[in-house]
Amino acid sequence: MTIASIVKVELEYNGDRAIASTAVHVDKGKSGLIHVFGHNDTDEAQKLGIHWLVFDPDNIVREDYSTWEAWPYTGGGVTHEFIGGRFTFDKVGYWVIICGLFAWPEEQVAADAIGGTICLVGAPSRTLRVEVTPKGAGYLETTPNPLSGYKKWVDNSTGQFPDGAQVLAKATPYSGYRFDHWSTDIVGGVSFQNPEYVQDMTRDMKITCHFRGEDQPDTKQFEIDIVGGSGHVITYPASQEGQTIWYAGNTGTFPRGISVKVTAVPDPNYLFLKWSDNILGGTSTENPAYSEPLDSNKAVKCHFREEDEPDTETLEVDITPQGRGTVETDPASQEGKTIWGHDETGKFIRGTNVKVTAHPEPGWAFEKWSDKIVGGTSYDNPAYVQTMDQRRTVKCHFIEGINGGNGGGGVGEITSILVHWGSSTNLSPPASVEDSGSYEIHPVCLNKSGSAIQLRVVARVTKPSGALTTREDIDGWPHTGAGKEFKPTLNMGDIDEVGTWTAEIGLYDHDTEELLDSWSGDLLVVSEASGGGMMDMSAMMGMMMVVMMMGIMMPMMEGMEEGGEIE
């Protein structure tokens, strides 16, 4: 009699799940997640463990997953689901798994082993979208043709090409128009050549083909603005009007498509600071520098400063909702400001790293930073503004404070909180776990109103050391309907401290930012890992030898039926 057996192996991919087999086709570049179901064949509860290896088409191990289930152990006649980590299908061909199931009635026992193909990975197709402006001014042809065959591309046409394809686009104007230029995902970003290549199709691409009337002039206007000091700009080449020396507000025309070389010349006691607006790259401290190609009218701004003036940049602080807290900066601004309200600005020495700390008003809590904070979005408090090498704006988000009440009664309610840790799912707080692996929080939220609501869940977990982790999830479209449930998954990161972890979880109306319900309490009770996390390698190698002798380790073996499942 067997003590445990592997029931099935499933592959989660592209939002779907299927029995692992050669019949499962996955696009290259997508991610996968292995689910193995182990059955306790005895009448008594026993501890089950798993160890599997996933191989890519080059026989390289891409996932080595091993774990023992946590208490309570799998009951007699019950199936336990093991869930691995995500990995990327980045090679074309057959991907394979070998898997060993282990039990521990009194000591470790190798219970079952299987192996075979989990899927066939193929090169994905990529979508090319064409925009023609003005609409109806012309059409495009491509070499090669899209996968569907020859087509005449007009505005908003789409077609599929193999991943990595090199596509040559040719524009043909209708009567009364002429080709002007390409933009968006064309080689170089902007091109005046026809035909021209699209950027390699390693992702979905969009190209814009610009036509113009035959009677439209083939020149563009160029403007120089000068701020913050005194000086002038020299251009090369000269404008159509012969101008090479430019002062604030001067304009002139240049042939369409050229990049104008600009050189800043400060007056005595002044220094060149930077270029902005339509300079190549958006901003530049190089002198000379080049304008963006004149595919349309352009303006370049030259910044000077006095020699004894500090080289500063401006920081702007925004607070949402307004009046719900303040922001503290370290160091202080040049004006001496350390406490900031909404829409306030100040200057810092160029290159400064500014630390910002959020201070919520009573009844409110810090949620996150956005805009020009390091990382783009940050749930850390304090955090750092991106280096002050140009004007920066940071936004501090506050939310209505989670008051610790457990239970709803309004238009929204948190009906349950579950914790997933490794292969252990649906653990109720406080969940007993070990200091290894990562964990997720799975709240179940009920819309008790009479209409659809866009719900938002925010979870703040405090570790024994006081370190804070914040995650949020916002209901997508269509929003949660009346009487329906919103079930977000909050990936909270690694479990790396022993002790009791506490959590505050808030349910909000995303549009009004009203707190609808909250839960707080002990979330995790973390103990030291108890060993046995990895299977005994000698036993695992024995399993692998059995699998190889069965002729199922690699997908190239003779006689595998097309579409056959792992068995």
pLDDT digits (tens, 9 = 90+) for 410-437: 688 898 899 988 766 678 899 888 888 7
Percent of the chain clearing pLDDT 90 (strictly above): 42
Q: How far apart are the first and last CA of the chain?
A: 19
Torsion sign (Cα): 551, 555, 556, 561: positive
Total domains, the chain: 5
Query: CB of 33 within 8 A of CB of 440?
Result: no
- Domain span at residue 161? 125-213
**pLDDT exceeds cutoff 80 at 388:** yes
- Do both 264 and 301 map to the same domain? yes
- For the chain, count helices (H), then strands (E): 1, 44
- Do both 14 and 27 map to the same domain? yes
- What's the average model confidence in pLDDT over 483-495? 88
Query: CB of 367 within 8 A of CB of 472?
Result: yes
Look at residues 152, 160, 149 and name the one whose alpha carbon lies nearest to residue 136. 152
Query: CB of 72 within 8 A of CB of 45?
Result: yes
pLDDT digits (tens, 9 = 90+) for 191-203: 888 999 999 988 8
Supply the CATH number for residue 450's domain.
2.60.40.10
**pLDDT exceeds cutoff 50 at 101:** yes
Supply the CATH number for residue 94's domain.
2.70.50.60
Q: Which two tokens stand for residue 160?
A: 């599929």
- What's the average model confidence in pLDDT over 498-515? 88
Query: CB of 97 within 8 A of CB of 84?
Result: no
Residue 364: inside a domain, yes or no?
yes
Half-sphere exposure of 547 (CA within 13 A, CB side): 27
Residue 363, class by beta-carbon neighbours within 10 Å (0-12 exposed, 13-18 middle, 19+ buried)?
exposed
**pLDDT exceeds cutoff 50 at 405:** no
Residue 536: inside a domain, yes or no?
no
Distance of alpha carbon 490 from alpha carbon 456, whole angstroms: 12
Last residue of a domain, one of 377, 400, 423: 400
- Do both 33 and 139 map to the same domain? no
pLDDT digits (tens, 9 = 90+) for 519-552: 989 999 999 876 444 344 444 445 444 444 444 3
- Do both 118 and 129 map to the same domain? no
**pLDDT exceeds cutoff 60 at 409:** no
- Do both 142 and 100 map to the same domain? no
- Do both 183 and 200 map to the same domain? yes
- Do both 113 and 130 map to the same domain? no
Residue 82: inside a domain, yes or no?
yes
pLDDT of residue 551: 40
* SS3 category, 362: coil
* CA-to-CA dists, residue 363 to 317, 318, 342, 382, 407, angstroms: 22, 20, 18, 19, 18
- Do both 366 and 271 map to the same domain? no
Query: What is the side-by-side strand order in the sheet with 157-162?
Result: 157-162, 125-133, 205-213, 177-184, 190-191
pLDDT of residue 229: 67
Last residue of a domain, one of 73, 94, 122: 122
Stated length of the chain: 567
- Do both 449 and 517 map to the same domain? yes
Look at residues 383, 352, 350, 354 and name the one whose alpha carbon lies nearest to residue 366. 383
Q: DSSP letters of 97-164?
A: EEEEEEEESSS-EEEEEEEEEEEEEEPPEEEEEEEEESTTSEEEEEES--TT----B-TTEEEEEETT
Residue 511: inside a domain, yes or no?
yes
pLDDT digits (tens, 9 = 90+) for 138-172: 999 999 998 778 889 999 999 988 878 899 999 99
Residue 546's φ and ψ, nearest 5 degrees, are -60, -45
- Do both 19 and 110 map to the same domain? yes
pLDDT of residue 408: 42
pLDDT of residue 542: 52
- Do both 522 and 426 map to the same domain? yes
pLDDT of residue 302: 94
Supply the mean pLDDT for the chain: 85
Distance of alpha carbon 198 from alpha carbon 167, whole angstroms: 6
- Do both 116 and 14 map to the same domain? yes
pLDDT of residue 378: 85
Supply the CATH number for residue 386's domain.
2.60.40
